[in-house]
């Protein structure tokens, strides 16, 4: 069985994480697009509100065939301590019975002096992972690991390094098939 990474990214930070991860663990990559306009300061606040309320949104692709995959990574940004609406919508559309799942989130704030990828990282990001866990388990998925990447103030190269550290530290390739 193969591995796939499903991700949503508004400002390309999670995209950078997902691309690096795909190389490191040998996975296919599927980007999910949110059809709601999330650009500009007004939409920023609306987006935070949508996240807090867990409002659904329209995403593309509408359906993803997960049958070739045994392990599924699902990742997106932390918005106001919640998963972005595209991620909530995505999980609700996925058939996860019999699948191993690894949720991850990226977050603006790094917690000084702590490994950003550890589950002990940023509180908002931990809440996101917990919410994703609840939703994944409700869909029949088995959560085998999770991680958080702090992106605030980091260059693309530094984000890549964070991902490589997380892959090594959490031994993520052992979950592959
Ligand atoms: C609407 C909105 C709400 C956000 N809320 C938080 C937050 O509560 N805490 C935080 O540390 N970062 C927050 N961020 C920052 C993002 O989590 C962070 O920049 C993330 O890495 C962006 O990922 P992306 O480039 O894949 O969209 C927020 C960003 C947006 C757009």
Q: Which of 17, 20, 30 lies closest to 66 in space, CA to CA?
A: 30
What pLDDT was estimated at residue 123?
A: 87
pTM: 0.94
Helix axes 123-138, 85-93, angle to 10 degrees: 20
pLDDT tops 60 at residue 111: no
Distances (CA, A) of 116 to 31, 46, 77: 23, 27, 14
pLDDT tops 70 at residue 133: yes
Nearest-5° angle of CA 74, CA 143, CA 112? 70
Q: How far apart are CA 85 and CA 10, in angstroms?
A: 11
With a 6 Å cutoff on the Cβ, whether 115 touches ligand 1 is no
Nearest CA, atom 29, ligand 1: 79
Distances (CA, A) of 107 to 78, 140, 156: 5, 26, 14
The number of the ligand 1 atom at minimal distance from the alpha carbon of 45 is 1
pLDDT bracket for residue 153 (50, 70, 90): confident
**Domains present along the chain, CATH in parentheses:** 2-175 (3.40.50.360)
Please compute the mean of the pLDDT values over residues 114-140 and round it to a whole number: 80
pLDDT bracket for residue 2 (50, 70, 90): very high
With a 6 Å cutoff on the Cβ, whether 14 touches ligand 1 is yes
Enter the tokens of residue 46: 């609306």
Please compute the mean of the pLDDT values over residues 51-58 and round it to a whole number: 97
């Amino acid at each position: 069985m193969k591995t796939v990474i499903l991700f949503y990214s508004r400002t390309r930070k999670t995209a950078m994480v997902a691309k690096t991860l795909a190389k490191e663990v040998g996975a296919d990559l599927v980007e999910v697009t949110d059809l709601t306009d999330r650009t500009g300061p007004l939409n920023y606040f609306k987006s935070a509100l949508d996240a807090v309320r867990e409002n659904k949104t329209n995403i593309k692709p509408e359906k993803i065939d997960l049958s070739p995959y045994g392990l599924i990574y699902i990742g997106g940004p932390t918005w106001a301590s919640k998963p972005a609406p595209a991620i909530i919508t995505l999980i609700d559309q996925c058939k996860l019975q019999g699948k191993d799942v690894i949720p991850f989130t990226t977050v603006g704030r790094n917690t000084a002096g702590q490994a950003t990828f550890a589950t002990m990282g940023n509180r908002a990001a931990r809440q996101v992972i917990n919410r994703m866990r609840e939703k994944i388990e409700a869909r029949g998925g088995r959560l085998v690991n999770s991680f958080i990447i702090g992106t605030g103030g980091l260059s693309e190269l530094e984000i890549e390094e964070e991902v490589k550290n997380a892959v090594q530290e959490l031994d993520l390739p052992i979950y592959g098939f």
